[in-house]
Structure formats: C-alpha cells, structure tokens
Amino acid sequence: MFERRVPPTIDYFMGYTGGSDTLAQLELRFPSRDAAIAYAERQKLNYIVLDDRSR
C-alpha cells in the first residue's frame, strides 16, 4: 500500500470519510520479489524491500 500523501477529508453532514489521494487505495501484488522490484524500477518508483519473517 502506498502511504497517504494528503490527509483524508471528513464529511460531518453525510458521515463519511473521503479524499483525493487515489494511491492510498491501491495495493499491488506480484508473483515474486524480483517481479516487484523490476516493476518499481521500470516505473521509477522509490521502494523498500521488507523480508517476510513469517516463513
């Protein structure tokens, strides 16, 4: 998931939370760590690799 760049807005009248930061809603999945790294580099994205310690 991407970190939120803009805080969410709260609509007190309707009772919902909204916002204009669509990347906060995005989750990407890849078949492997190498595929994820390759995607990030092709898109010129900054990334951090975290090892899964649950295995």
pLDDT (tens digit, 9 = 90+) per residue, 21-45?
777 777 788 999 999 999 999 999 8
pLDDT for 6 equals 75
pLDDT for 34 equals 95
pLDDT for 20 equals 75
Place of tokens 């092709």: 42
Distance CA 6, CA 18 (A): 11
Structure letter (DSSP) for residue 32: S
pLDDT for 2 equals 63
Cα-Cα-Cα-Cα dihedral sign, residues 12, 16, 20, 21: positive
Distance CA 39, CA 43 (A): 6
